[in-house]
């Protein structure tokens, strides 16, 4: 980047939504003002903040506007941050800004997953940029890594712990023996989980993120509703007792396996051992493993959420837009829809819990899963079996021959 000729150029920006992320963006821009100017050759100044509230007595009170037209109608504003959350009116406001020839940066995974295809098309047409680094891993720079550093790779697999709330809950269940309910309450008390945690614990948040990453890897639109999704609400403290005996843990994975034109994607709890790169990713942290055909396996780790980590990623997008202010950066995907393969074609190991700790029951399980590893817990009237690797369709047929299955977790 040659920035010397425009050392003192000022560029006006607007922030839509002055909540956690929006206020974080303003804070990062102010705190790192000199660094940003030095690296871009431009001083990014926030001119407007769109919000329903007034914020009297704060440093931003004179920048508050309530009408999107103030932003779209001002030719000085070149970059807009969408930090409102949700799909509506974030979609309508983002679309209006792009149509007005303004770059937009967002951390909103719901918006990107639902409307990203259209918004990317508009950005290309208008020769501006729709950037969403913070939408999938908070402060982890994975989107830019994919379209810059891994541009020459054929991505074969993406697997990630993409939700800090669920990872915190599972970590507490693993390390402290807590139940799901008590771990969730602690996460809520600490502000890691919402009062209504459905989007996190049912896997919907992770699903949207793996859909975005899969679209980035394949260059095709991914409908997140096509991805089989299972959350963590069925995982119990007893599952972790078995996992401990097996030297394993349980993580919520969003995963995409790409083999030629066939893509299998899913969100589910997975039992993994210490040899897995994501085994040691605990608490509210996120981790993403990407396998390329030339590079092999690489891993990206960091804060997947939080005010300043997420805002830092948004500001990085603003800096990219400032440097490439007159051109559209080739990234994202086309409107061609990617077909997700049925999960029955994917292969896993499986951990089953079976009611009744009888010899006849264990013999029956050994007949069905001759290569399986039987696991018993002292004092429990049940037992478990960790199967060998097989296709899900084959597993479902075998499982049907066993009665009294009381728990199931896929395993690596």
Structure letter (DSSP) for residue 236:
-
Catalytic residue status for 154: no
Instruction: Write out the two tokens for 152.
Output: 């020459």
Spatial contact of 291 and 156, defined as CB atoms under 8 Å apart? yes
Q: How far is CA 118 from CA 95, 112, 195, 399, in A?
A: 9, 10, 32, 43
Give the whole-angstrom CA distance, residue 140 versus residue 58.
30
Q: How many residues does the chain have?
A: 412
Are 102 and 128 a contacting pair, CB within 8 Å?
Answer: yes
Residue 2 and residue 43: Cα distance in Å, rounded? Answer: 15
CB 64 within 8 A of CB 49: yes
Q: What is the dihedral of CA 198, 203, 208, 214, to 10 degrees?
A: 180
φ, ψ of residue 224 to 5 degrees: the values are: -60, -25
Catalytic residue among 63, 209, 251, 307: 209
- The backbone torsions φ and ψ at residue 216, rounded to the nearest 5 degrees and listed phi first, read -65, -40
Catalytically active residues are 209
């Amino acid at each position: 980047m040659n920035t010397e000729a425009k050392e003192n150029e000022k560029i006006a920006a607007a922030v839509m939504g002055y909540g956690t992320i929006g206020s974080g963006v303003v804070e990062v821009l102010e705190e790192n003002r000199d660094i940003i100017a030095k690296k871009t050759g431009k001083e990014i100044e926030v001119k407007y903040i769109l919000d329903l509230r007034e914020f009297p007595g704060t440093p931003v009170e004179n920048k508050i506007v309530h009408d999107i037209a103030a932003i779209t109608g001002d030719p000085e504003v070149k970059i807009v941050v969408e930090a409102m959350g949700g799909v509506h009116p974030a979609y309508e406001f983002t679309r209006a800004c792009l149509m007005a020839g303004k770059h937009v940066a967002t951390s909103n995974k719901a918006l990107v997953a639902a409307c990203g295809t259209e918004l990317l098309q508009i950005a290309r047409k208008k020769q501006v940029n729709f950037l969403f680094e913070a939408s999938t891993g908070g402060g982890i720079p994975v989107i830019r890594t994919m379209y810059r550093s891994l541009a020459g790779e054929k991505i074969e697999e993406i697997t990630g712990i993409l939700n800090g709330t669920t990872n915190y809950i599972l970590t507490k269940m693993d390390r402290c023996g807590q139940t799901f309910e008590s771990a969730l309450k602690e996460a809520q008390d600490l502000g890691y989980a919402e009062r209504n945690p459905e989007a996190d614990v049912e896997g919907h948040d992770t699903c949207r993120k793996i859909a975005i990453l899969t679209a980035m890897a394949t260059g095709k639109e991914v409908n997140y509703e096509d991805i089989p999704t299972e959350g963590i609400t069925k995982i119990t403290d007893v599952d972790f007792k078995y996992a401990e005996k097996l030297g394993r843990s349980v993580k919520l994975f969003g995963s995409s396996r790409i083999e030629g034109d066939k893509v299998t994607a899913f969100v589910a709890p997975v039992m993994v051992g210490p040899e897995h790169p994501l085994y040691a990713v605990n608490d509210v942290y996120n981790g993403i493993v990407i396998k390329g055909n030339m590079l092999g396996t690489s891993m990206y780790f960091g804060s997947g959420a939080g005010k300043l980590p997420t805002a830092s990623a948004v500001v990085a997008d603003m800096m990219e837009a400032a440097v490439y202010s007159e051109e559209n950066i080739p990234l994202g995907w086309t409107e061609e829809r990617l077909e997700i393969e049925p999960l029955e074609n994917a292969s896993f190991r499986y951990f089953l819990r079976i009611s009744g700790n009888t010899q006849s029951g264990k013999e029956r399980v050994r007949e069905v899963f001759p290569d399986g590893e039987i696991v018993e817990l002292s004092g429990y009237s049940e037992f478990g079996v960790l199967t060998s690797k097989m296709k899900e369709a084959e597993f479902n047929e075998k499982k049907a021959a066993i009665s009294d299955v009381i728990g199931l977790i896929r395993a690596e």
